Structure 1
Amino acid sequence: MDRRRFLSRSAAVAAGTAVVGGPFQGLAAGTAHAGTNRAPGADAARGRPGAGGYGPLLPTPDERDGAVRLHLPEGFRYRSFNEAGSPMSDGTPTPGKHDGMASFRGRRGKTVLVRNHEVNGPVGAFGNAAEAYDPACGGGTTTAIVDRYGNVEWSGVSLNGTQMNCSGGPMPWGSWVTCEETVNGPDVGPDFTGQPNTKLTQKHGYLFEVPSDGTSSRVPIRSAGRFAHESAVFDPITGAVYMTEDNFGFASGFYRYLPPVTPWIGGKLRDGGRLQMLAVKKRPNLDLSAGQQPGAAYDITWVDIDDPDPAFAPGTTNDQAIQAVGNQGRAKGAALFSRLEGAYYQRGVVYFVSTQGGATPAGDTAPDGFGDGRGQVWAYNTVTRRLRLVFESPGSAKLDLPDNVTVSPRGTLVLCEDGDGDNFLRGLTVDGRIFDLARMEPVAGDAGAEFAGSTFGPDGHTLYVNIQSRKGMSIAVWGPWHKGGF
């Protein structure tokens, strides 16, 4: 959508809130099936077309080399590309740990993909270290121009020298905002890996903007907070960037950043705005990571973060630093979530995922970290300031630790799993039905491999998705989408 059409539509939405509400508006209001009250035995139907699915998953060879990397329904095909270590068009070896990703319309029918690489530690920057934000750090983003079948026209570095680039979000003016899921820096003690931060030259834990048609300025947006960012989405109605926090061992928060100038001026997100954190009205510090009733809903407010970009005194531990921004909000009553990861915006509603939210289902064990459930999906209406539960996993067999999320042209959510066993791409239909789209063939020597970065191409023909592992790669999937929930 070009700028004029987007502004026109945004004005219409702001003027009449009756048109606000994404495809799950009815489900979030409790008028359709919720995951926690489905009938016994409903799982048996979730792979069939009548339940939104496409049929049983079959081992499917990769069009690139014939190896079986995915199990897909009959009629679906895929091609992998930009495998870790393979040379990109600019001569740089493709970094690993492919993660969050977004698609943009390119020239001559091509798709532009901007892709994160969640690399941690002082391992050195990929690409030209002289251009890196921090030459010691190996995270960042790469950009690839591909066709509908995963054939690469060009690929190269678009941001380097950052760390733990987990997810982010596409901005409607044509940029990808990438998020650092860390607060490492020379002022912070060793992180969960035990590696010292003394080699780092910059503070980390920020948003960086990457234009889809170029490279990043590598200047962080510090006023948007220094915390374990996961995802970011823009709402033209409020003019805010909504952000999730994935704080594995501690409570996480849901944030919004109010930029000082609308991003339409200059076509970029500017530093110097206000950072706020979500709180539930009249219920300070409500723990929303706990199990919820189907259709649970809350009226919310926002509390200011007074020091969004803290610098830490010598001796500050990583555990202390990673909670510093969130603790400011919780001191004012901000709500508690468990591991907020993927987020997606549509028509005045922000959908976001709590990876370990919910009660521990019968037959499952509580995962490590903060939160005992197998996942929740929340919907926040930016106009009514109403937060509703869309779905809570009743067990790992149905949905196991959802992470990145996107939406199909038909309105079905695509959820990337980050579970302990087999990892799936799951679909969640607007009437609350879960079905399987893909299962990952286990990656040899990397039990932690997972799906990430799912995004449909601009014309809806292709679903692009990443395998996040040490030997990561991107994949293009296409097939008879019209036969099921997507």
Structure 2
Amino acid sequence: MGLQRRRFLTLAAAGMGAALFPQGLQLLYQRAAQGQPLTTRGFGPLVKDPNGLLDLPAGFRYRVFSKLGDRLSDGTPVPTCHDGMAAFPGPDGTTILVRNHETYPGLPRAFQGVVAPQERMYDPLAPGGTTTLVISKDRRLLRHYVSLAGTSRNCGGGKTLWGSWISCEETVATPEHPANQGLVQRRHGYNFEVPIQAKEPVTPLPLKAMGRFQHEAIAIDPKTNILYQTEDRGDSLFYRFIPKQPGNLAAGGELQALKIKGAPKLNTAEGFPLRKPFEVEWVPIPDPDPATDTVRYQGYEQGAAQFVRGEGLCYAKGEFYFTATSGGQKRLGQIWRYRPPSTSGEGGTIELFLESPGKEVLDYPDNLTMTPWGDFLCCEDGNDGINRLVGITPAGQMYTFARNALNNQELTGVCFSPDGQTLFVNLYHPGMTFAIWGPWHRRN
């Protein structure tokens, strides 16, 4: 046990009710010790898909569209590496999907990138970006087209309150670095905004005040307009961005990182009790757009807490939930819950909502969303060749809703249509998007 961990345990016992900090899963999962199961039936067992694409519970159906190898409405090829995605209400009952493509320089040719006119590309050498899809009431693809181009490793993101998608680059590549020479022409590591009204590639504008780091996802507090951000690193931080002008992110703002009060520079990989809140404060990031990859170091030096690969992030019922994909005693993943304050001058609290006890239950949680019936659906990005959509109840019980039956690639971009009747999710590669519907009432 390191000095930092020992200091935090002492502080917690003295000032937080002598909380038990478990060293094993039996203590960590007190509910299981009390006879409460860690898994639940959910929608029932999966049925093997005769098409070999997606196993679902009985009664559920899917439709596939906008696949690698298809053509977009302008005739250019559909890119692959389908990743983060969000659904917005469109005219006449349509659903508008904005979808990331995590393509980047140096990928094999089979990993088709985003194609757009060079004048609409942020970096002419970078093949990442977004496509926008318009889906009819009866879940059919009406049109799909490029909406952001010339970016790189567009992994996660999040929807705004004003009808746009923030697409996040999970890279800090620069043309000055020897490994990137000839691969990129501009500095990367930014967020880009894509309005849902865009019917052609937008003029890319890097939102530099939001930070240059390996972005993963964003979510917004509708009460304060503060944006929260995750970072996919082994020593990542959890950030918030306070905009100068709500709804106008290009106007700048202040970037901050989360620090647990009384426990500076804490690594949260293991040793936390479930459902016990800890007060936090926020430290400023002095230089959000550094020439080198130092944003997380700036926060850590001021005491910010570290999380092991922050990825999926969503807002639900006044709280934020985010995944630490490799966190936990077994390094199989954690889900954290952050309760924000009513004003930016306060800190809020953070707690460990869930930790995976084994890969058969939850293996590397990544993208996640809140369902209309109050559970979470979480995409796995595991390393055992089996990737699923896992349901998580408010009590922390888990169930399998879907399984990739085609290959070992992750499912991504999970989100619901505005009416809550259709679940959309991507297969990363070969890229394709599923619309799923069925007896959702079975979880009511």
Same fold (TM over 0.5): yes
Shift of 1:60: 2.5
Residue 386 of structure 1 aligns with which residue? 349
Residue 85 of structure 1 aligns with which residue? 69
Residue 146 of structure 1 aligns with which residue? 135
- Change in CA separation of 1:178 and 1:45 when aligned onto 2, cut-off 3 Å: closer
Residue 204 of structure 1 aligns with which residue? 188
Q: Does residue 346 of structure 1 match 2:316?
A: yes
Shift of 1:189: 3.8
Does the 8 Å contact 1:111/1:145 carry over to 2? yes
Does the 8 Å contact 2:38/2:398 carry over to 1? no
CA distance in 2, matches of 1:416, 1:386: 25
TM-score, normalised on structure 1?
0.80
Residue in structure 1 matching 2:413, options 453, 462, 467: 453
**Residues 171-226 of structure 1, C-alpha deviation per residue, up to 9 Å, x if partnerless?**
11100001000000212342xxxxx3334121100000000111433001001110
Q: How does 1:214-229 map to 2 (within 5 A)?
A: 214=198, 215-229=201-215
Q: Does residue 419 of structure 1 match 2:386?
A: no
- Change in CA separation of 1:355 and 1:44 when aligned onto 2, cut-off 3 Å: closer
Q: Mean alpha-carbon deviation: is it higher for 400-409 or for 128-137?
A: 128-137
CA distance in 2, matches of 1:187, 1:328: 22
Q: How does 1:363-402 map to 2 (within 5 A)?
A: 373-383=331-341, 385-402=348-365
Shift of 1:378: 0.9
Residue 431 of structure 2 aligns with which residue? 472
* Length, aligned pairs only: 405
CA distance in 2, matches of 1:35, 1:401: 18
Q: Does residue 39 of structure 1 match 2:32?
A: yes
Shift of 1:122: 5.2
**Residues 330-365 of structure 1, C-alpha deviation per residue, up to 9 Å, x if partnerless?**
1110101000000001233111111111101xxxxx
Supply the AA of the counterpart residue of 2:378: L
- Change in CA separation of 1:420 and 1:406 when aligned onto 2, cut-off 3 Å: same
Structure 1, unaligned runs of 5 or more = 1-33, 62-66, 191-195, 313-320, 361-372
Supply the AA of the counterpart residue of 1:213: Q
Shift of 1:459: 0.4
CA distance in 1, matches of 2:103, 2:227: 24
Q: How does 1:120-159 map to 2 (within 5 A)?
A: 120-121=104-105, 126-159=115-148
Q: Which runs of 4+ in 1 moved over 4 A?
A: 40-45, 122-125
Residue 21 of structure 2 aligns with which residue? none
CA distance in 1, matches of 2:418, 2:134: 13
Q: Secondary structure at the match of 2:206?
A: coil
Supply the AA of the counterpart residue of 2:71: P
Structure 2, unaligned runs of 5 or more = 1-26, 108-112, 342-346
Q: How does 1:10-409 map to 2 (within 5 A)?
A: 36-39=29-32, 46=40, 48=41, 53-61=42-50, 67-121=51-105, 126-190=115-179, 196-214=180-198, 215-247=201-233, 250-263=234-247, 268-312=248-292, 321=293, 324-360=294-330, 373-383=331-341, 385-409=348-372
Supply the AA of the counterpart residue of 2:230: T
- Change in CA separation of 1:45 and 1:184 when aligned onto 2, cut-off 3 Å: closer
CA distance in 2, matches of 1:411, 1:35: 24
Supply the AA of the counterpart residue of 1:39: A
Q: Secondary structure at the match of 1:78?
A: strand
Q: Mean alpha-carbon deviation: is it higher for 473-482 or for 236-245?
A: 236-245
Q: Secondary structure at the match of 1:200?
A: coil
Does the 8 Å contact 1:81/1:150 carry over to 2? no
Supply the AA of the counterpart residue of 1:216: V
CA distance in 1, matches of 2:322, 2:428: 20
Q: Does residue 483 of structure 1 match 2:436?
A: no
Does the 8 Å contact 1:208/1:216 carry over to 2? no
**Residues 359-396 of structure 1, C-alpha deviation per residue, up to 9 Å, x if partnerless?**
01xxxxxxxxxxxx111111111116011111111111
Q: Secondary structure at the match of 2:29?
A: helix
Does the 8 Å contact 2:129/2:150 carry over to 1? yes
Residue 404 of structure 2 aligns with which residue? 440
Q: Secondary structure at the match of 2:426?
A: strand
Q: Secondary structure at the match of 1:293?
A: coil
Supply the AA of the counterpart residue of 1:255: Y
Q: Secondary structure at the match of 1:60?
A: coil
Does the 8 Å contact 1:60/1:69 carry over to 2? yes
TM-score, normalised on structure 2?
0.87
CA distance in 1, matches of 2:427, 2:318: 30
Q: Secondary structure at the match of 2:399?
A: strand
- Change in CA separation of 1:35 and 1:481 when aligned onto 2, cut-off 3 Å: farther
- Change in CA separation of 1:156 and 1:109 when aligned onto 2, cut-off 3 Å: same
CA distance in 2, matches of 1:390, 1:285: 21
Shift of 1:292: 1.9
Does the 8 Å contact 2:365/2:380 carry over to 1? yes
Residue 15 of structure 1 aligns with which residue? none
Does the 8 Å contact 2:274/2:351 carry over to 1? no
Residue 20 of structure 2 aligns with which residue? none
Shift of 1:288: 1.0
Q: Secondary structure at the match of 1:310?
A: coil
CA distance in 2, matches of 1:413, 1:302: 27
Residue 26 of structure 1 aligns with which residue? none
CA distance in 1, matches of 2:73, 2:397: 42
CA distance in 2, matches of 1:473, 1:349: 31
CA distance in 2, matches of 1:440, 1:326: 34
CA distance in 2, matches of 1:303, 1:228: 19
Does the 8 Å contact 1:239/1:262 carry over to 2? yes
Shift of 1:234: 1.0
Shift of 1:293: 1.4
Greater relative contact order (Cα < 8 A, sep 6+): 1
Percentage identity across aligned positions? 43
